Structure 1
Amino acid sequence: MKRRLIYITGIISSVVAAFLTLFGFLATNRLMYLKMKDPDVIMKREILAKRFDEKWYETVRKEGLWIHSPNDYLLNTVFLKPLNTKNTVIICHGVTENKTNSIKYARLFERLGFNSVIYDHRRHGESGGKTTSFGYYEKLDLQAIVQFIRKKIGEDALLGIHGESMGAATTILYAGTFDDDADFHIVDCPFSDFTEQVLHVLRMETPLRSTMALRIANLFLKMRDGYTLNLVSPREVIENVQKPMLFIHSMEDEFILPYMTKELYQAKPGDKMLKLFDKGSHAKSFNDNPESYENTVKEFLQRYGFLSKVNTR
């Protein structure tokens, strides 16, 4: 009887271990190898919405760059130079998108007197990198791009960063972790903590409600990609950000909830500004409120004296 109980217990333990292993691999695969949007679909979407002007892009002065990441791959980057200025904004797209999605912001900053740098995050578009880490490794890539562009434009030029969704979280992680070589930041719908964000998505899309799933995912994520979810937390570094920051979110966003941006805004010391749009789902604040969005960015730049510097440099 005792031997039989030990045998049954062993079988149950093996089944549980196999299930947890399978779950761990599937969960981390979903994170690390998140399916990308088709580049052609992104391009057609932006052209139809008149956010991407093919003729402008073909004729605008630009420089293609391959910037080395400290993570040992190349980042596909385009320096757009429609204006005779060194003032520049680096634009970070969201997860599953690519640099085509950044063109609409490049045109916005062109109207405000800035050239732009657009690039593909790791494992996105034409950049290298095997996994998506939602800001953990991406912040190092952004640091490399900031350093490269700062050397290119010089210390006297203005340098800003605009990030959307994952790109916004990456911007905060960069600015709050490293010596910040940018002059200002604009973050549109960032998550404040990736653990909370993953749990929110799980509860939205699956019957899972317990944090046990995250503990299992963390174990396998650490083994497979070298980090855990709790290490991707803009909330933990926002108090280190000293440069002016504009926070943007739309109240209709059900994917990354607006409270996360409010939380980050409250925790950020020094110069800051918050704009919450009534209309717009996730990462759609600009798409649904283009004029108000641009006016908000302009107000932010005016409030902290950047527009006057644009006009004199």
Structure 2
Amino acid sequence: MRKLLRILFSFLFFLTSFGVYFTNRIMYIKKKDEQLILNREKNAGRFDPDEFQYLPKREVSIPSPFGYELKMILVEPHSAKHYIIISHGVTENKINSIKYMKLFLERGFNAVIYDHRRHGESGGKTTSYGYYEKFDLKAVVNWLKKEKGPDLLLGIHGESMGAATMLLYAGMVEDGADFYISDCSFSDFKEQLSYLLKTEMKLTPRPLLPIADVFLRMRERYSLRDISPISVIQQIKNPILFIHSKKDTYILPSMTEALYEKKKGPKMLFLAENGAHAQSLNENKEDYEAAIDEFLREFGFLNKDT
């Protein structure tokens, strides 16, 4: 009897240890050093501090529905009520969004760049890969519409987790923007974790993911099943441009292709020839810009003379 109890205790201890360890890896994913991001973008010529300094802009802080502050920058060099919100990827911050912002400034848009929860200057203790972030994005959209009026032309561009956040937001109950650009989103977070467990950690997803899911629900009040852009993609009516690098081995391009196939209504797909994960713009700049121009013109968001 004692031996059986020891075995049972050891098994429960293993389950608990793994559940806490794995959910810690998810909730507290190691972020990139902010100075590293800054230096990387400066050295690559994607961020010029002097150029950025003289842009008409202001820093804004708004409350998240979860009690912390969201830090963002509103950049407004244009008089037209055309705006783009940039949603950055996991472990990054709003400095990484500047390269995308510049594309839209050149096309007559004003921009909002902001830090997700637990990233950059924003508050929040954990990362949820779009589950809680989508409500923060909704707060950003609502603030902008209240500030500038409901008649603005609004787009949202998301990279990686930021793209998943954007799709989850758009698929809730409202098409809050006029168009969306989804760059290298995962289609389903549980499927993505399963892939990473097998390829990076050489582990079998079963029964590890079900155990992790139980602990995630206890600790963060959501399930892995709740982070699934492909489950809501059919609810998004407005146009989406899907982008992914063919050589991405972190989030496979087949995930974006699946999202594209399931999306009903107006859509376009651009698969970049070069670049690893989230490098489609960096490694295919001309083709990336051409894809954006084609998308914006096709659906009437960019004048031919712009």
Query: Does 2:95 correspond to 1:100?
Result: yes
Which amino acid counterpart does residue 175 of structure 2 have in structure 1?
D
1:310 positional shift: 9.5
Q: Distance in 2 between matches of 1:299 and 1:153?
A: 27
Q: Distance in 1 between matches of 2:167 and 2:247?
A: 22
1:197 positional shift: 0.3
Alignment partner for residue 162 of structure 1, among 149, 157, 160? Answer: 157
Which amino acid counterpart does residue 196 of structure 1 have in structure 2?
E
State TM-score, norm by structure 2: 0.98
Judged with a 3 Å threshold, the aligned counterparts in structure 2 of structure 1 residues 218 and 107 are, in CA distance, closer, same or farther, namely same
Q: Distance in 2 between matches of 1:25 and 1:294?
A: 43
Q: Secondary structure at the match of 1:308?
A: coil
1:29 positional shift: 0.3
State the match for 1:150 in structure 2: 145
State the match for 2:179 in structure 1: 184
Q: Does the CA contact (< 8 Å) of 2:197 and 2:205 recur in 1?
A: no
Q: Does the CA contact (< 8 Å) of 2:241 and 2:267 recur in 1?
A: yes
Q: Distance in 2 between matches of 1:310 and 1:84?
A: 17
Which amino acid counterpart does residue 130 of structure 2 have in structure 1?
G
Deviates more, 1:300-309 or 1:228-237: 300-309
Q: Distance in 2 between matches of 1:260 and 1:144?
A: 27
Q: Distance in 2 between matches of 1:10 and 1:193?
A: 39
Q: Does the CA contact (< 8 Å) of 1:150 and 1:159 recur in 2?
A: no
Q: Does the CA contact (< 8 Å) of 1:95 and 1:134 recur in 2?
A: yes
Q: Does the CA contact (< 8 Å) of 1:99 and 1:125 recur in 2?
A: yes
Q: Identity over the aligned pairs, expressed in percent?
A: 52
Q: Distance in 2 between matches of 1:93 and 1:42?
A: 12
1:69 positional shift: 1.0
Q: Does the CA contact (< 8 Å) of 1:250 and 1:285 recur in 2?
A: yes
Alignment partner for residue 135 of structure 1, among 127, 130, 137? Answer: 130
Q: Does the CA contact (< 8 Å) of 1:62 and 1:78 recur in 2?
A: yes
State the match for 2:280 in structure 1: 285
Deviates more, 1:61-70 or 1:148-157: 148-157
Mapping for residues 37-52 of structure 1, pairs under 5 Å = 37-52=32-47
Which amino acid counterpart does residue 178 of structure 2 have in structure 1?
D
**CA deviation string 1:272-309 (max 9, x = no partner):** 00000111100000000111111110110000011139
Deviates more, 1:68-77 or 1:157-166: 68-77
1:57 positional shift: 1.0
1:85 positional shift: 2.3
Larger-Rg structure = 1
Q: Does the CA contact (< 8 Å) of 1:87 and 1:153 recur in 2?
A: no
Q: Distance in 2 between matches of 1:161 and 1:37?
A: 23
- 4+ residue runs over 4 A deviation: none
Alignment partner for residue 32 of structure 1, among 27, 33, 41? Answer: 27
Alignment partner for residue 66 of structure 1, among 53, 58, 61? Answer: 61
Query: Does 2:73 correspond to 1:82?
Result: no
Q: Distance in 2 between matches of 1:298 and 1:209?
A: 43
Q: Secondary structure at the match of 2:198?
A: helix
- Structure 1 unaligned regions, length at least 5: 1-5
1:82 positional shift: 2.2
1:206 positional shift: 1.2
Task: Count residues in correspondence.
Answer: 306
Q: Distance in 2 between matches of 1:153 and 1:162?
A: 19
Q: Distance in 2 between matches of 1:122 and 1:55?
A: 27
Alignment partner for residue 256 of structure 1, among 241, 251, 254? Answer: 251
**CA deviation string 1:83-131 (max 9, x = no partner):** 2222100000000000000000111001111011000000000001110
Query: Does 2:30 correspond to 1:17?
Result: no
Q: Does the CA contact (< 8 Å) of 1:91 and 1:116 recur in 2?
A: yes
Q: Secondary structure at the match of 2:303?
A: helix
